[in-house]
Amino acid sequence: MILASGVNPHLAELSNKLIYSAMAVYLLAMFAYMFEWTFGSKGAVAVRSAEQATLAETAAAATLPVQAKAAKAAKSVTVTVASPGGGTTTLTRTALAGEGATVVTSGRGDGDAVDGPGAAGSSEKGDMAGRMAISLTVLGFLINASGVITRGLSVMRWPWGNMYEFSCAFAVSTVAAFLILLLAKKQVRWLGLPVVLTALLTLGLATTVLYTDSEQLVPALHSYWLGIHVTTAIISGGALHAAFVVTALYLGKDTYDKRIAAGKTTGPFNTAASVWDRLPAAATLDKLSYRINAMVFPLWTFTIIAGAIWAESAWGKYWEWDPKETWSFITWVAYACYLHARATAGWKGRKAAYLACLAFACFVFNYYGVNIFVTGKHSYAGVG
Amino acid sequence: MSDTDLKPPADEESAERMSSAPVEADAPSGIGVIGWMRWMWRQLTSMRVALILLFLLSLAAIPGSLIPQNSQNAFKVQTWQAAHKTIAPIYQKLQLFDVYSSVWFSAIYILLFVSLAGCIIPRTWQFVGVIRAEPPGAPRNLTRMPVYAAWHTDADPETVNAAAHRLLRKRRFRAHLSTGTDGAVAAEKGYLREVGNLLFHLSLFALLAGFAWASLASGQGGKLVVEGDGFANTMTQLDDFTGSAFYGPEDLDPFGFKLDNFTASYQTTGDQMGNAREFIAHIRYWEGDDSSKLKAGDIQVNHPLDIGGSKVFLIGHGYAPVITVRDATGKVVYHDTVPFLPQDSNLTSTGVVKVGDYGDKDGKKVQLGFQGFFLPTAPANFGPTTGPISLFPGDASPLLVLTAYEGDLGTDAGLPQNVYQLDLTHMSQLQQDGGPAKAKMTPGQVWQLPNNYGTISFDSYKQWATFSVSHRPGNSIALTGAVLAVLGLIGSLFVQRRRIWVRAVVGPDGRTLVELAGLARSESARIAEELAELAVDLQDDAPALDEPDTPEVSDASPTPTRPADSESKE
Ligand code: HEM
């Protein structure tokens, strides 16, 4: 008999402290987002987003002097884009001769829903709070990620061997999905509040209910497939989380639009209209949620395949309809349904959104439900 | 729908058809059986039914995750059935204990695959046709396309069209310049989307084929081996074996191995104390007929060993006390290593010792039986209420607890018997000091049996390991299918298929009107930017004239008027 140890208690403790600190910083970020939303509700809600307005101004500024010099020097094209609602949008691309710069402006035609200006509205204080919130989110993200990394270093293995560890990593990947969208210059600052809220809830659950000390792994998890399979599962999970938040907001916004059209003045569940006004248009949200889900689907497919390969080397069969496998399959088929519905049946909007929510519910059940309530070969979650 | 007047002209319809998804059939066309069959086939291969089947498949998979399944744990199914006497027969009838091989589950996926074949195979042919043909020609009215741009120029139409053709080629579009009076460029890009989509769906068949082959030609056996013992992969030596249509007992791969020793390590501190950390079976094995050429190898959980066409997996482990029984004269009547089976995670193990050849006592033939526990780490004391429970899976303080029986073991009846259970029908427990005779022994200790039966000694103990020997072909097919599926998906979801048309014609005012139009799958927003980029580049060859009034495109051309649901057709 050999006695195993190999845990660096200092790093393990540091990791715990970092996770708590991350929660504190996320909490501050949450307050900052709340301030942003509150300040934003005071200012008048501009119809065109600030970003669009400035773009248009730059374009105008850029073309004016050129036009003064020689109109021919600038090549300019305006493209008319028909939108699903029957309206049109225009996109103007201007190439400045000699300078090689191009400016793209987009304008909105009539009859097309308009994206709200974001949480801060036109309030400068709101914008300030929003910027602080983003900085805090980045800080929280870094601390959270360090917490996960030190946890891994404390035992020199991938830090996802039990549900506490998965959850900490989940929070990292959800926030990362949001930050990546921001980095990709998407107008998603309004996503900050729900994302930080989910991260807080996940970490809260992790530190209270799911906590386990940092230890080495059971032999069933000694495999490099742990690194591959679980890593991709966590990334998929984080992104699906983010997509779900967008889908839910889409449903809210769509309901709000319908209520306004019906002459009511509040959003669903009597929420304040100014909140919904500041969100992007329902169609934009719908598209964004589809994009994220479609991006993640191949990764999720890969996750399941990697799991099957791992199962083959651990148990001899790559698929045994173990509850975890079954629910991964159900989740996968549900997302395939959703993609089919959108791509081939032309389901846009609510019907597709309900499917996306259902698919996400399957994902969540697979994570919490199967780990906690159903026993199978995957019962190494370290709870119960 | 009776909106025929709203339908776009035929040239637009072919131009807009970018996916060859099946067209939905609303009602049976034609008459009689053939008509109905054709209708049913069309329904089955329609997207709506495919969606329903997909949905049903995920729904049908749920019960199997909540109700115990024979395929995973037959023992659990029996326990469940015993506990739910009334509904168990109903569940049995509904095949709820074998969901994934049930008639209804199979029906769903078979229908789904038939639907898939009916949908994808015609689509593949169609796509081959598309690849061989030119991109669909420009519709007459380009303004009806979702993305549109236009301007006037002095350049002559042929030059502009040729330049557009060149630019599109440079952007790696498949472009076709139609000559003649109505010269126009038709271009298309992003065929990989369709390739990916077809690849994805077709590779699902490869996956299915892999599954099918595996279930038809695989076999799995189990074997418990004690340290120091060997094993040859034959039917007589395996503890159990399940074969399939094309892999029976006579097909077993020839090989064998010897378990030299087994190492286990456990967590000794903290709240996960007792959790396993490492299991390694050190073996030496041979392949084929020559059992003298031995190779050394390790088998661990997650790290099976590939031996001669089979994979050998480490499944479980436990302890086996070495026991010697002597009769009253001191003659050894029994000496063996007896595997005890673990009952909990701390390896509290139970087992029996059957002394079939005890011989005669007092002129009568008797047999002895022992039943009891092996505790790798025994508590200092345990009372009658708590019972013998091990505290830790490692062998920190091993203890053997036994009670003894005399009588007839029932082994001579010739019926197969469970080696881990005593049949007590013809046995009676030995008594001592007015109670059942019982002893706790540490390794090396000897128990003097009552009634002058002699002694039983707990000499030492070894570890044993269980192995699963699995022969499964078809894995590589399934894996290839899976990898292709992911590649196909990436193509199908990330590549945008789009068409661009350019047409330059001389208008009634003598100036050349350049028109560009684009069409993409509905989820794409980038086509507008792509068209704008192309247009800006094209202006090198077709400089825009100053428009007398505001350069509103909608002046030069009417705003696109399209039926509101047109996107959903794509
Ligand atoms: C076995 C289960 C199936 C799965 C997991 C599956 C999954 C998918 C996925 C993920 C896509 C990509 C969606 C997109 O392009 O955005 C797709 C597209 C498609 N699927 Fe399936 N599918 C299945 C069965 C079927 C069946 C039975 C049919 C035919 C009846 C079918 C026909 C199509 C078509 C036509 C498309 C392409 C849509 C387009 O590009 O226009 N699929 N499928």
Mutation probe of ligand 1 site: the residue of B121, B130, B201, B497 with most atoms within 8 A of C-beta: B201
Ligand 1 lining (C-beta closer than 6 Å): A 336, 339-340, 343-344; B 19, 21, 45, 47, 50, 54, 112, 115-116, 119, 197, 201, 204, 489, 492-493
Strand B341-342 and strand B332-337: the pairing is unpaired
Give the pLDDT score at B201. Answer: 92
In a mutagenesis test of the B interface, which of A7, A13, A81 is the best target, namely the one with the most B β-carbons within 10 Å? Answer: A81
Query: Are the Cβ atoms of B265 and A1 closer than 8 angstroms?
Result: yes
CB-based contact B72 A322, cutoff 8 Å? yes
In order along its 384 residues, chain A shows pLDDT tens digits of: 343 456 777 888 888 899 999 999 999 999 998 888 887 766 544 444 444 444 444 444 444 443 333 444 467 777 777 765 566 677 777 765 544 445 555 554 444 556 666 666 667 778 888 889 999 999 999 999 999 999 888 877 788 778 888 889 989 999 998 999 889 877 788 888 989 998 999 999 888 888 877 676 666 676 778 788 888 998 998 899 889 999 999 999 999 888 888 888 777 777 777 778 888 888 888 888 998 999 999 999 999 999 888 888 777 778 888 888 899 999 999 999 998 888 776 677 788 999 999 999 999 998 887 877 766 555 444 433
Q: Report CA(B119)–ligand 1 centroid distance (Å).
A: 9
Q: Are B185 and B165 spatial neighbours (Cβ–Cβ below 8 Å)? A: yes
CA–CA dist A101, A66 (Å, integer): 12
Q: Which residues of A touch B562 (CB under 8 A)?
A: 82, 86
- Supply the DSSP symbol for B146: S
> Is residue B114 within 8 Å of B44, Cβ to Cβ?
yes
The DSSP secondary-structure symbol of A319 reads: -
Q: Rounded distance, CA B500 to CA B518, Å?
A: 4
Shortest alpha-carbon distance between residue B100 and chain A (Å): 8
User: Nearest by CB to A313, which of B304, B522, B540?
Assistant: B304
Beta bridge partners of residue A107, listed in sequence order:
A90
Residue tagged 């507008």 (tokens): B528
pLDDT for res A218 = 66
CA–CA gap between residue A171 and residue B24 (Å, rounded)? 44
- Assign B183 to helix, strand or coil: coil
Give the three-state DSSP class for B336: strand
Of ligand 1's listed atoms, the one at least distance from the Cα of A332 is 5
Q: State the Cα–Cα distance between residues B44 and B287, nearest whole angstrom.
A: 51
Do B158 and B183 touch, CB atoms closer than 8 A? yes
Token pair 């029932």 in the structure block, residue: B410
Task: State the Cα–Cα distance between residues A291 and A233, nearest whole angstrom.
Answer: 18
Please, which residues have CB within 8 angstroms of residue A252's CB and are 6 or more apart in sequence? A267, A268, A271, A276, A279
Task: Tell whether B47 lies on the interface with A, counting CB pairs under 8 A.
Answer: yes
Nearest CA in chain A to B262: A1
Choosing among B301, B347, B561, which should be mutated to test the A contact, i.e. which has the most A CBs within 10 A?
A: B301
Distance, in Å, from the CA atom of A319 to the CA atom of B530, rounded to the nearest integer, reads 45
- What is the number of alpha carbons within 13 Å of residue B196 lying toward its C-beta? 17
Indicate whether B199 pLDDT > 70: yes
User: What integer best gives the mean pLDDT of chain B?
Assistant: 83
Closest protein CA for atom 28 of ligand 1: B116
**Rounded Cα–Cα distance for residues A43 and A47 (Å):** 12
* Closest C-alpha to ligand 1, atom 7: A336
* Residue keyed to tokens 């970490």: A203
CA of A242, closest CA in chain B: separation in Å? 19
CA dihedral sign of residues B64, B70, B72, B74: positive
Cβ separation of A93 and B490 shorter than 8 Å?
no
Measured in Å, residue B176 CA sits from the centre of ligand 1 at 30
Q: Which residues of A touch B95 (CB under 8 A)?
A: none
Phi, psi (rounded to 5 degrees) for A49? -70, 155
CA distance A239 to chain B (A): 16
* pLDDT for the residue numbered A1: 38
- Report pLDDT for A116: 66
* Among A203, A253, A45, A39, CA closest to A131: A39
Please name the residue that has the structure tokens 């499944």: B315
The reported pLDDT for the residue numbered B107 is 92
Contacts B54 to A, Cβ<8 Å: 333, 336-337, 340
Mean pLDDT, range B136-155, rounded to an integer: 84
Q: Which of B515, B394, B528 is nearest to B461 (CA)?
A: B394
Contact (CB<8Å) A4/B267: yes
Whether B423 shows a pLDDT value over 60: the answer reads yes
What token pair was written down for A63? 């073309």
Please give the pLDDT value at position A110.
42
How far does CA B256 lie from the centroid of its chain? 29
Q: How far apart are CA B497 and CA B521, in angstroms?
A: 7
Rounded to the nearest 10 degrees, what angle do helices A231-261 and A163-183 cross at?
Answer: 60
The contacts of residue A261 (CB under 8 Å, 6+ apart) are none
- CA B11 to ligand 1 center in whole angstroms: 27
For residue A148, what are the CA distances in angstroms to A171, A203, B446? 10, 12, 54
Query: A152-161: b or e for each residue (b if 16 or more CB lie within 10 Å)?
Result: bbbbebbbbb
Instruction: Say yes or no for a CB contact (<8 Å) between A80 and B554.
Output: yes
Output the residue whose Cα is nearest ligand 1's atom 8.
A336
Contact B496, B504 (CB under 8 A): no
One-letter amino acid for residue B90 of the chain: I
Are the beta carbons of B460 and B319 closer than 8 angstroms? no
Whether B227 has a pLDDT exceeding 90, the answer reads yes
pLDDT of residue A122: 67
* Cβ pair B192, B495 in contact under 8 A: yes
- pLDDT at residue B339 greater than cutoff 90: yes
Q: What pLDDT sits at residue B560?
A: 41
Pick among B57, B69, B267 to test the A interface (most A CBs inside 10 A): B267
- Which pLDDT does position A83 carry in this prediction? 65
Q: Is B87 exposed, middle or buried (0-12, 13-18, 19+ CB in 10 A)?
A: exposed
CA distances from A325 to A53, A137, A306, B222, B249 (A): 50, 34, 12, 24, 30
Alpha helices in chain A (DSSP H): 9-42, 50-69, 124-155, 163-183, 192-208, 224-225, 231-261, 273-277, 282-315, 323-343, 350-364, 370-373
- Our CA angle for B76, B79, B80, nearest 5°, is 85
CA of B197 to the centre of ligand 1 (A): 7
Q: Please, are residues A266 and A260 in contact by the beta-carbon 8 Å criterion? A: no
| HSE value, Cβ hemisphere, 13 Å, CA-based, for B141 | 14
Q: Which residue has the tokens 């699903």?
A: A84
The dihedral region occupied by B274, where left means phi > 0, alpha psi between -120 and 50, and beta the remainder, is left
Quickly list DSSP for A90-159.
EEEEEEETTT--EEEEEEE-TT-------TTTT-HHHHHHHHHHHHHHHHHHHHHHHHHHHHHHHHTS-S
- Label residue B524 by pLDDT band (50, 70, 90): low
Question: Which two three-digit tokens encode residue A199?
Answer: 């991260």
**A317 CB near a chain B CB, below 8 Å?**
yes
Instruction: Check residue B495 and report its DSSP letter.
Output: P
Asked if A305 and B482 come within 8 Å (Cβ–Cβ), the reply is yes
Q: Structure pTM?
A: 0.79
- A110: its two tokens: 């009539």
Least confident of A100-109, B344-353, B365-374: A100-109
* From A295, A344, A347, mutation site for ligand 1 pocket: most ligand atoms within 8 A of C-beta: A344
* Contact in structure between B315 and B300 (CB atoms under 8 Å): no
> A314 near A223, Cβ under 8 Å?
yes
> Chain A within 8 Å of B467 (Cβ-Cβ)?
no
Mutating which of B153, B489, B530, B540 best tests the A interface, going by the most A Cβ atoms within 10 A?
B489
Query: Pick the residue with more confidence: B72 or A44?
Result: B72
User: Distance from first CA to last CA of chain B, Å, rounded?
Assistant: 17
> What residue in A sits closest to B269 (Cα-Cα)?
A5
Whole-angstrom distance, CA of residue B410 vs CA of residue B367: 9
CB-based contacts of B19-24 (< 8 A; 24+ apart in sequence): B19/A343, B19/A344, B19/B194, B19/B521, B19/B570, B20/B122, B20/B123, B20/B126, B20/B127, B20/B130, B20/B194, B21/A344, B21/B47, B21/B119, B21/B123, B22/B46, B22/B47, B22/B119, B22/B122, B22/B123, B24/B48
CA dist., res. B376 & res. B342, Å (int): 10
Task: Please check whether residue B478 is in contact with residue B206, taking contact to mean a CB–CB distance below 8 angstroms.
Answer: yes
Residue with tokens 């082994």: B411
Q: What's the A346 CA to ligand 1 centre distance in angstroms?
A: 13
Whole-number Å distance between alpha carbons of B528 and A298: 27
- Angstrom distance (rounded) from CA A292 to CA A359: 14
Closest atom of ligand 1 to B54 CA is 2
d(CA B370, CA B454): 14
* Inter-chain touch A336–B54, beta carbons under 8 Å: yes
How far is residue B369's CA from residue B465's CA, in Å, rounded to a whole number? 25
Separation in Å, CA B44 to CA A342, B41, B337: 19, 5, 62
- Residue carrying the six token digits 């119960």: A384
B52 touches chain A (CB under 8 A): no
- Chain A, 155 to 214: residues with Cβ < 8 Å from chain B are 212-213
Q: What does the pLDDT average to over B331-354?
A: 90
A361: Cβ contacts below 8 Å, ≥ 6 apart: none
